[in-house]
Structure 1
Amino acid sequence: MNPINRNQLFVASCMALLVTSLSFGIRAGILNTLGSEFNLTASQLASIAGTAFWGFPLAVIIGGFLVDIIGMKRLLVLAFLLHLAGIILTVFAKGYSSLFISTLCIGLANGTVEAACNPLVTALYPENKTTKLNHFHLWFPGGIVIGSLIVYLTNKAFTLTGPINLWQLQVGVMLIPALIYGYLFSKLHFPVTERVAAGVSTKEMYASLLNPLFIFMIVLMFGTAITELFTGQWIDVLLKNVTDNALLLLTIETGIMVLGRGLAEPVVHRFSPQGVLLISAILSALGLYILGHSAGGMLFVGAIIFGMGVCYFWPTMLGFVAENLPKTGAVGLNLMGGAGMFAVSIYMSFMGGYYDRLIASKLPAGAEMSAYANAAAGTDMANTYSEARKVAGPEIINVTLIIPIVLILAFTVLNLYMRNRVKMHKKEILKTA
């Protein structure tokens, strides 16, 4: 039997997730640049960014059903090939269509990484699932911090002219960790998934997916994913005209997330996964409120509080399912991830069109928005368009605020349910003692 080196597998998994997160951070940083470079509307930008989000659930759901059949290693080789194709196609993109296809490849790669690595982490650390999922997923905000800093610092330091644009170089940076994780996974041996190791049949696994608690968690995943990922991906677009440091807000928010996930173990053990989720919803709502109703220095306060709020959402949702609904196996974990990303893709597409309509409503009656968007800097039309965006961005944030408010109520119900379930379990133990 081949030895399983769980530390090396965990490191390689983190590198794969780093590529995923770099794609989010770098894309968030160059979204406005792509809009200017290829003359794209906010709706087209939303469609391109959203492609990564619906490509992700497509891959993660299909991968969830395949992972026990073909194994985690083969899935991760496929993820590497898709990442490679997506990065290269993005660098050589010529417009909306090529950006759409290349972003879809990256989205599919990102989902395939999630489909293989989430069950891999729970198989490697069955005694500490939620904590290790948080440690693994700290590389998602970590990569966004790295990616957004790459964009911010290179934009400040370099001006490239000639055959290669700066944004192409920024995207190309992702090739480095992609090649590293592809090499690492090709050399390592993998365990079977936790569900297979426990002897849970495929029939039992599919039956457990109909558990009302699992369905409830799927619905809540819609809200937690939108709250975290839509805001993070669009913060530069929404607040660009409110502050000159919109991208730094993303960096601060995700930096808080890295720190929080790294310190997950005592937090999760002190408050329980469901308790952490309730606290997260409260802080997320407060952070969004500040971001949507403030300017200047208070925006940084909002970013810090919001980062504290969304910090534990994604990995703790997965950890809750892994700990309390273990028979759902890899399919359950991947359905959770797929549901979250699917919700974000739908919400992002809807909000892109809504954002355009908000901007148009604040321009003079009958104005052609493209003429205002492409007006020369400093002209009356450009200033009017800038003011329209300045008002429209916070309005989108305020609409999104409704979601974590609903989550506060939902997670309160979950905490009461789990507390009652523990009490019932104790009574059953006493009866049989």
Structure 2
Amino acid sequence: MSNNTTIHSNKLFLASRIALIFTAMTFAFRASLEGPWGSEFHLDEVQIGWIFSPAFWGFTLAMVFGGPLCDVLGMKRLLGLAFVGHIAGVVVYLTAKDATMLFIGTLCIGIGNGMVEAACNPLVVTLYPNNKTTMLNRFHVWFPGGIVIGGLIAYLMMNKLHLGWHALIAVLFIPAIIYGLLFLRLDFPKTERVTSGVSTKAMFLACLTPLFLIMLASMFLTAATELGTNQWLPGLLQGAGVEGILVLVFINGVMALGRSFAGPVVHRLNPNGMLICSAILAAIGLILLSRASGYAAFGAALVFAMGVCFFWPTMLGFVSEYLPKTGALGLSLMGGAGMFSTALILPVMGGWYKNFKAAAVASGAGSSADAIAGSNTFMKVAIMPAILIVVFALIYVVRRKTYVAHKQQAQAV
């Protein structure tokens, strides 16, 4: 690879990371908007949930439909659609007069966020064909990193400077304009699937193979373990004697740091091995969180963060490395499954917590009802990574046997 090509690839990679930071900041800002929007627009919790819902299913739809379109329209056009969705969403938010406009704004941003993932995941794979899993981890550093950035900005602007929510939303123009201008000036390569000569029909057929379908189902559990827990963390820790938001920022900081140094781990374990270790640590971390109180929660959170740290990018890396014919469609289906899973698990986890708390109150737990409910919910969530340990271990055994059989066959020939 020439020096000019390397510089061009690095510029595309930088723009991709800034686009992902925008995506993550919208997730972080949402936590600070519930109160102000509820007061200003006279909305209850159900209406707020209705307004926020397109952030998940809009994201999912954009990824699922964006995957097949990635090769047809090209990654640059998809990112152009992402930019339009992001700018339109911010403008609609700033001019909103009612709940319907807030819903439309969230839908625009959700679709934009999905288009970013639909285009940038195959872009990273195409830019770094010999280092896919490592570079996908480095790219996805900026989801937890962006949540930390967005969370701190929201805290400073809303809690310390006491600025209105309009000022907070307006901040989103900055990363949007930066990544939009960068992408506009850069040329994009064709996707890896196109350059390797794999047909569209072969791509769709590859997405129906048993291994891909197993990984797609596993993505529901890995995403629910990571994003579902993180979204509910402040609520689940409210009876544990610690500020849940600080534990959440700590977890995302650890995740960003871990993904930054994913290379040596990938080299040592390979994607399958990383997923087994991740599932083990995630399960242990959730069990520890169920028992932790006070500052001990940070120790439990460290173990959990080390577990979920590599889940999302390594699931994508596994598919791109071991099932390359699935192309941009495979990556989009995986990402869409992960985000759709999060939309499904959030109300389920809320139901678990509500039922556990009601049972604790009924048994006379009193002030410790929140702590008991949080503890039991963490244990319930721990079932998901426990299942994944078995699934990923079986995949490893089968792939190992297949590899040995092929090697023996080659030696015989």
Query: Following the alignment from structure 1 to structure 2, what is the Cα–Cα distance between the partners of residues 197 and 67?
Result: 13
1:294 aligns with 2:292: yes
- Whole-angstrom distance in 2 between the partners of 1:68 and 1:387: 55
Q: Match for residue 308 of structure 1?
A: 306
Match of 1:372 in 2: none
> 1: CA distance between counterparts of 2:383 and 2:43?
29
Cα offset, 1:361, TM superposition: 6.4
| 1-structure distance, mates of 2:122, 2:68 | 12
Aligned to 1:229: 227
Distance 1:203 1:304, change over 3 A: same
For residue 104 of structure 2, what is the amino acid of its counterpart? I
Q: Which moved more, 1:193-202 or 1:348-357?
A: 348-357
What is the match of residue 105 of structure 1?
108
Q: 1:38 to 1:236 in 2, by over 3 A?
A: farther
2: distance between equivalents of 1:85 and 1:242?
41
Q: 2:62 aligns with which of 53, 59, 63?
A: 59
SS in 1 for 2:409: helix
Measured after TM superposition, the shift of residue 418 of structure 1 is: 2.1
2:7 and 2:262 map into 1 onto residues whose CA distance is 25
Which of residues 218, 221, 227 in structure 2 aligns to 1:220? 218
* Cα deviation, residue 171, structure 1: 2.8
Helix, strand or coil for the counterpart of 1:5? helix
3-state secondary structure, aligned to 1:251: helix
**Closer/same/farther in 2, CA of residues 328 and 157 from structure 1, 3 Å limit:** same
Q: Which residue of 1 is the match for residue 411 of structure 2?
A: 430
- Give, in angstroms, the shift of residue 290 of structure 1: 2.1
> Is 1:174 equivalent to 2:160 in the alignment?
no
The 3-state SS of whatever aligns with 2:188 is coil
Counterpart of 1:254 in structure 2 is: 252
Amino acid at match of 2:410: I
Contact 1:257/1:308 (<8 A) preserved: yes
C-alpha RMSD of the superposition:
2.7
Does the aligned pair in 1 maintain the 2:242–2:293 contact within 8 Å? no
Cα gap change, 1:236 to 1:91, in 2 (>3 Å): farther
Deviation at 1:392, TM superposition (A): 3.8
The one-letter code sitting in structure 1 at the alignment partner of 2:157 is T
Contact 1:292 1:395 in 2 (8 A): yes
* Local SS of the residue matching 1:210: coil
| Alignment-derived partner of residue 198 in structure 1 | 196
User: Which stretch of structure 1 is more off in the superposition, 17-26 or 73-82?
Assistant: 17-26
Q: Map 1:241-280 onto structure 2 (within 5 A).
A: 242-243=240-241, 245-280=243-278
1:170–1:304: structure 2 CA closer, same or farther, 3 Å change rule? farther
Q: Post-superposition shift, 1:26?
A: 2.1
Change in 2 beyond 3 A, CA 1:294/1:46: farther
Could you tell me which residue of structure 2 aligns to residue 120 of structure 1?
123
Structure 2 contact 242–294 (Cα < 8 Å) conserved: no
* Residues in 1 aligned to 2:357 and 2:39: alpha-carbon distance in whole angstroms: 17
Change (3 A) 1:286 1:171: farther
Secondary structure of 2:226's match? Answer: helix
Structure 1 residues 105, 137: closer, same or farther in 2, change over 3 A?
same
Q: How does 1:271-420 map to 2 (within 5 A)?
A: 271-353=269-351, 355=353, 389=370, 391-420=372-401
**CA distance in 2 between partners of 1:231 and 1:9 (Å):** 32
Alpha-carbon distance, 1:75 to partner:
0.5
> Which amino acid in the other structure matches residue 267 of structure 1?
V
Say if 2:286 and 2:378, in contact at 8 Å, map to a contact too. Answer: yes
User: Which residue is 1:27 aligned to?
Assistant: 30
In 1, Cα distance between equivalents of 2:184 and 2:106: 25
Give 1:340 deviation, angstroms: 1.0
How far residue 87 of structure 1 moved from its aligned partner, in angstroms, is 2.4
Superposition deviation, residue 154 in structure 1: 3.3
How many corresponding residue pairs?
A: 408
Seen in structure 2, the aligned counterparts of structure 1 residues 92 and 350 have a Cα distance that, compared at 3 Å, is farther
Displacement of 1:54 in angstroms is 1.4
Distance, in Å, in 1 between the alignment partners of 2:309 and 2:275 is 10
Distance 1:209 1:259 in 2: 32
Matched, 1:158 2:158: no
Alignment-mate amino acid for residue 346 of structure 2:
M
Worse overlay, 283-292 or 214-223 = 283-292
How many angstroms does 1:239 deviate by? 2.7
After TM superposition, give the deviation of residue 214 of structure 1 in Å. 0.5
Identity of aligned residues (%): 50
Q: 1:49 to 1:413 in 2, by over 3 A?
A: farther
- Which residue is equivalent to 2:91? 88
- Distance 1:310-1:349 versus aligned 2 partners, 3 A rule: same
After TM superposition, give the deviation of residue 25 of structure 1 in Å: 1.9
Query: CA offset at residue 255 of structure 1?
Result: 0.6
Contact preservation (8 Å) 1:256, 1:307: yes
- Corresponding residue SS for 1:123: helix
Q: Does the aligned pair in 1 maintain the 2:61–2:114 contact within 8 Å?
A: yes
Shift of 1:156: 4.2
User: Which stretches in structure 1 are left out of the alignment for 5+ residues?
Assistant: 161-165, 365-383
2-side partners of 1:33 and 1:278: how far apart? Answer: 42
TM-score (normalised: structure 1): 0.87
The residue type paired with residue 166 of structure 2 is Q
